[in-house]
Structure 1
Amino acid sequence: MATVTTAPRTATPTASPGRTKRRTRTVGQWVVLAVTVIVGVLMLAPFVIMLLNAFKSPADYSANGPLTLPESLYFDGLGTFWERVGFETKLWNSVWTSALVALFAVVVSLLNAYALGVGRVRGRLWIVALFLLANMLPQEMLVYPLFTMMQSIGLNNSPWSIVLIFTVIQAAFGTYLLASVLGSFPPALLEAAALDGAGRWRMLWSIVYPVVRPTMSVLLIFFFIWTWNEFFIPLVMLTTNDTQTVPIALASLQGDRMLDVPTLNAGTLVSLVPTLVFFLLFQRTLTRGVTAGAVK
């Protein structure tokens, strides 16, 4: 009776977790990394200079210039700025106007985009192009008719004029963006919801809104920061100290023949803190919104 012999199996070596092959970078990757680091340093340089001069006395700034370390920490510039411009009032004006603009503009953008992208309004491409064109118009072209309009409805020198104006301006961009997103929305989902008896409002809040919510979160953050940084239209519309915003407070420190650079840097530093805190609080939301648009 023949016996069958089998060759012994040799165990295939497995790479241990600690012996993973190190990935070597190519010359092109090192060049890209070096350029990225240089660009990052150049972008941070103005903030570092501002931070140095915010805690430098005027005498120290005049004697040593803006690129040296302060001889001693000087905090009077922060107090001078706070008292001179009434910063707490202007900070509150900027916060509530920017928050309302961001909220109203996102809601208006969603409603417009739902009608254009999903409702298939006749001539939707021309309407979306009109929204894009309106967003490209310079503010200098709009300021006189806007000022006349707000004066005629009794909102001259009122922060509510800023809320109305920038809600429309920001919603123009939001409508263009969301309409482009909803233009590729699968109609089969809406048809199935209609067969189940869902109305237009139910389809909007139960089907469309969850899909575009990440994009709306990104728009909310951008609209808040953009409105916070606006200067020209608020400068024209708001004429008294109790209605003005933070960017106007910074501009009031600059005169024709006198410029207190340390106080200006201190005020700029204080003005950046609210937007920085807002960005850090919603950084994860911003990251989710940006990455959600890349995955279907």
Structure 2
Amino acid sequence: MAVTTVPTGAPARRVARDRHHRGASRWIVLAGVTLGALVMLVPFAFMLLNAFKSPGEYSSNGPLSWPSELYTQGLRTYWTQVDFPVKLWNSALIAGSVAVLGVAVSLLNAYALGIGRVRGRLWIVGLFLLANMLPQESLIYPLYYMAKQVGLYNTQLSVIIIFTVIQSAFGTYLLASVLGTFPRSLLEAAALDGAGKWTILWRVVFPNLRPSLAVLLIFFFIWTWNEFLIPLVMLIDNRTQTIPVALASLQGDRLMDAPTTNAGALISLVPAIVFFLIFQRTLARGITAGAEK
């Protein structure tokens, strides 16, 4: 009886070629991402280079020269003249409060819209989406006038309330979309066991949304920390200003030299980098959990 043999070399070679092709694509993508990261790091490299350069050396040799000595007077000048510990506390207080309150408000709104199925849900979610598209410049005068009328102008509380509403608009839109696809079987099983709406929220919905809420918390903190326009208008006193406003005001009012400004920018950037490094694993786990779902 004749035996027919099936050639196996061709499929093996094809699989090898496919793997090689995918490997080459990955290297190209990795090279592109690395190049983009290096380009983004160029401004930070210039900032670090000029932060330890004396004003005279900066004026004579320019911003691209290497410092001949480690000049730290700019760091000390910025630290003392802007009262950096107070600005650091103000920024941490505002950003931390907005992050926590924004996540809480987003969760409650999204629970009502995504799980509660209120009437006109799509229109309300669309309204939150529209609120995210409004530029802050269009909100400045109404917010300024309202803060003046209620006596909250030049207080951290006014900025906390404003950014809690702004950030929770995005959080509500995002979480409402997620909760719209939440498994109804889990909710029905909890309801059959006698759980009320609050119990379902904290015992069923909240544990499943914890990774997404952690990501929102980190984003809200960083976004609020970097805000400039609204704090610039709302906080006019030196004791209430945040780090970005203090840096810009110091540069404009007292005409500080470029090395001192770079030193101030370097100090102001360190807390945000430390916060990101601390919570980077939480951010990665949250994004991975969202992808798996």
Shared fold, TM over 0.5: yes
1:238: how far off?
0.8
TM-score (norm 2): 0.90
- What are the within-5 Å matches in structure 2 for residues 17-32 of structure 1? 27-32=24-29
Q: Partners in 1 of 2:156 and 2:232 — Cα distance?
A: 11
Distance across 2 between alignment mates of 1:198 and 1:35: 52
Over the aligned positions, Cα root-mean-square deviation in angstroms equals 1.6
TM-score calculated relative to the size of structure 1: 0.89
Q: Are 1:226 and 2:238 counterparts?
A: no
**What are the Cα deviations for residues 132-157 of structure 1, in whole angstroms up to 9, with x where unaligned?**
11111011110111111111111011
Q: More helix per residue: 1 or 2?
A: 2
Tell whether 2:191 aligns with 1:194: yes
| Structure 2 partner of 1:185 | 182
Max Rg structure: 1
Asked if structure 2 preserves the Cα contact closer than 8 Å seen for 1:253 and 1:260, the reply is: no
* 1:225–1:275 Cα contact (<8 Å) kept: yes
Report the counterpart of residue 18 of structure 1 in structure 2: none
Q: Which string of whole-angstrom CA distances, capped at 9 and with x for unpartnered residues, describes residues 108-128 of structure 1?
A: 000000000011111111101
Of 178, 200, 212, the residue aligned with 1:215 is 212
Tell me the residue number matched to 1:241.
238
The whole-number CA distance in structure 2 between the counterparts of 1:204 and 1:117 is 12
Task: Give distance in 2, aligned partners of 1:23 and 1:285.
Answer: 34
Task: Please point out which of 90, 98, 105 is paired with 2:102.
Answer: 105
Aligned-residue offset at 1:166: 0.3
- CA gap of 1:24–1:75, structure 2 versus 1, over 3 A, is same
User: Is contact 1:250-1:268 (8 Å) kept?
Assistant: yes
Residues of 2 paired with 1:27 and 1:293: CA distance? 28
2:264 aligned with 1:267, yes or no? yes
Distance 1:239 1:258, change over 3 A: closer
SS of 1:255's partner is helix
Structure 1 residue 74 and structure 2 residue 71: aligned? yes
For 1:26-63, what per-residue CA distance to the aligned partner results, in whole angstroms no more than 9, with x for missing partners? Answer: 55444333322211110111111110111111111111
In 2, distance between residues paired with 1:81 and 1:224?
A: 24
Count the aligned residue pairs. Answer: 275
Q: Indicate the residue corresponding to 2:80 in structure 1.
A: 83
Where does the alignment leave 5 or more consecutive residues of structure 1 unmatched? Answer: 1-21
Identity %: 66
**C-alpha distance in 1, partners of 2:21/2:256?**
52
Instruction: Name the CA distance, whole Å, in 2 between partners of 1:78 and 1:34.
Output: 36
